[in-house]
Amino acid sequence: MAGASTAPVERMLWDSLVMALSIAIGKIAISLLAAFAIVLAIQYLAYKEFLIAAYDPDMARAMGMRVDFWNTLFYVAVGVAGAISSRGLGALLSFALLVKHWARALSFAAS
C-alpha cells in the first residue's frame, strides 16, 4: 500500500525534473545559437576589413581605415567564439583547438 501512494508523487517529481531540464537546456541552446550567429555575421560582413587590417596595417591606415577598431573587433569576436566553444565542447578541448596552431607556428618559426 505504501508503494502505491508514493507512485504519483514520484511521477510528478520526474515530470518536473524533465520540464525544468528542457527549459534550462533550451534557454542555453538559444543563447549559444544567438551568440554564434552574431559572431558569424561579424566575421562574414567584416572579412575584408579584418584581412587588410591584419596583413597590411599601413596600407589600411592610408586607405582611412581605423585599424585599432578592426583589430579590437576581431579579437572580441574570437574571444566570444572561444567562450561559445568552451561551453559546447569543454574547456580543455577548446583550449587545445585554439592554441595548437599558434604553438606549432611558433615552433616552426623558432627553428
pTM (whole model) above 0.75: no
CA dihedral 40, 46, 49, 54 (to 10 degrees): -10
Q: Is the dihedral of CA 99, 101, 102, 104 positive or negative?
A: positive
pLDDT digit string (tens) for the chain, length 111 residues: 455 566 677 777 777 777 777 777 777 778 778 888 888 899 899 999 999 998 999 999 999 999 999 999 999 998 888 888 777 777 777 777 778 877 888 888 877
| Distances from the Cα of 92 to the Cα of 32, 76, 88, angstroms | 19, 20, 11
Contact (CB, 8 A) for 47 and 74:
no
C-alpha cell at 72: 579590437
Contacts by 4-13, CB closer than 8 A, 24 or more apart: none
Specify the DSSP element, H or E, that contains 23.
helix 2-45
